[in-house]
Amino acid sequence: MSSTSKKILVLGATSGIAEATCRIWAQQGASLFLIARNADKLNVVAADLKTRGAAYIGTAVIDLDDTESHPELLADAVTSLGGLDVAYLAHGVLGDQSEAERESEHAEDILYTNLISPVSLLTWLANYCVKQHSGVLAVLSSVAGDRGRKERRGRRRQRNACGTLRGGRGSRPRTTGGRSRTRSPSSPAAAAASDARPASPSRARAPAF
């Protein structure tokens, strides 16, 4: 692993937008640690990124709803990377809005994945960045959080809450040399473009963290 390559932790690495962004980071020679819950998909993504030029690929298969595992998981990932420059949080679910309105258990499951789990992850990561006086926390949000669609109001509230949390956690790293970013792209190409606008493959570039 190159000591000069950017060290990036990706949580929810098999999401389409995360994968598209990681492909560009891989082409830039970044070192990546990928976390996802589907082992087969994760292996495919990891192999693809390696062929695209990633300096290092580490992986972990886990359901990120298991918040008790977060401290050990994140510590192991940072150790594997040899440090941390960017933590990219692309973990979340859409859920079924109509079912969530009928069944409180389903609503609670969605809330746990989209809010409680990110709270746990971002708290540990923010503390790490504060101690290191560096690092970027990048949270992939959703355009559903900005639009008033009735059928997505549950997701909108969760993403707004997560964005507020990210802003609060992010204010601590900023005072000690770190940064935080929230991205709400409309497509994988948009996530890969630094200005978060849809871009052709020839114009796309990784977020400028």
Domain boundaries in the chain? 7-192
Max CA distance (Å), the chain: 52
pLDDT of residue 90: 92
Tell me if 89 sits within 8 A of 139, measured CB to CB: yes
0.75 cut: is pTM over it?
no
pLDDT of residue 174: 52
Return all residues near 61 (Cβ < 8 A) that are at least 6 apart.
35, 36, 37, 38, 39, 42
Q: With the CA atoms of 22, 27, 30 and 34 taken in that order, what torsion angle do they form, in degrees rounded to the nearest 10?
A: 30
Return all residues near 26 (Cβ < 8 A) that are at least 6 apart.
32, 49, 50, 52, 53, 54
Average pLDDT of the segment spanning 106-130: 88
Cα dihedral across residues 195, 83, 20, 206: positive or negative = positive
Strand 86-89 relative to strand 136-140, pairing: parallel
pLDDT of residue 163: 53
Band of the pLDDT at 110, cuts 50, 70, 90?
A: confident
More confident residue, 58 or 180: 58
pLDDT at 107 over 80: no
Topology annotation, domain 7-192: Rossmann fold (3.40.50)
Band of the pLDDT at 106, cuts 50, 70, 90?
A: low
Average pLDDT of the segment spanning 25-44: 97
- Phi-psi map region of 167: left, alpha, beta (phi>0 left; psi -120 to 50 alpha): alpha
pLDDT digits (tens, 9 = 90+) for 124-181: 999 999 999 989 999 887 655 454 445 544 444 445 555 555 455 555 555 555 455 5
More confident residue, 51 or 100: 51
Average pLDDT of the segment spanning 35-45: 97
